[in-house]
Structure 1
Amino acid sequence: MRSGQRQWLQSERVWRQFTLMDLVMERMRVDPLVATRKCGGTAMADARNTCLGCSFHRQCREWLECGSDFAGLAEFCPNAGFFMECRLNL
């Protein structure tokens, strides 16, 4: 595999992981302004990095597809606490 192909595959993985995180945040009704302002933005950056390196992407997709509740997400997601802290107050 050429170097350019590896970079493209890595880029695809990054976008897939970020898309999953965005979908989870939407499903959890995370307030994007709260999330991006928390700790001056570092909490969101840390959450993105955690998601990028997360090995639970299959469980994450399954959770999104099944319509499970927060308890299901909290069982495997290292960002579950961050998402709960940043939820919209409805």
Structure 2
Amino acid sequence: MQASVPRWPMFHQVLRRQKLMDEIMEASHVDVVEVMRVEVGEAFMDARSKCRFCIYETRCRAWLFSPETKNGPPEFCPNAELFRMCKRTKP
């Protein structure tokens, strides 16, 4: 019997991008619980979907290692508005 390994070709990409979104939220001081409250969780699911299909993955990773992180989420991010709206009051 084979080990249970996902056969879905995009599986690792989806996990990688979910992790990237989590890292962007952390670097941007986003209150994740607040994001989940917006539209009763729909905004969070929409944000995950936007991240999953985003064309800026490489640019996003570069942003994480730049001094720009102190300015909040990157302008090119399709979730930037939501992330700014849900910024933690204390970093």
TM range (shorter): 0.7 to 0.9
- Give identity over the alignment, percent: 34
Q: 1:6 to 1:40 in 2, by over 3 A?
A: same
Q: Is the 8 A contact 2:28 2:72 kept in 1?
A: no
Which residue pairs with 1:37 in the alignment? 37
Aligned-partner residue type, residue 57 of structure 2: H
Q: Deviations over 1:30-60 (max 9, x none)?
A: 1111011111000000000000000000100
Kindly indicate which of the two structures has a greater share of residues assigned to helix.
1
Runs of 4 or more above 3 Å deviation: 69-72
Residue ranges of structure 2 left out of the alignment (5+ in a row): none
Q: Distance in 2 between matches of 1:44 and 1:71?
A: 18
Which residue pairs with 1:13 in the alignment? 13
Deviation (angstroms), 1:72: 7.2
1:83 aligns with 2:66: no
The total of aligned residue pairs comes to 85
Q: Is the 8 A contact 1:63 1:72 kept in 2?
A: no
TM-score, structure 2 normalization: 0.84
TM-score, structure 1 normalization: 0.85
Residue ranges of structure 1 left out of the alignment (5+ in a row): none
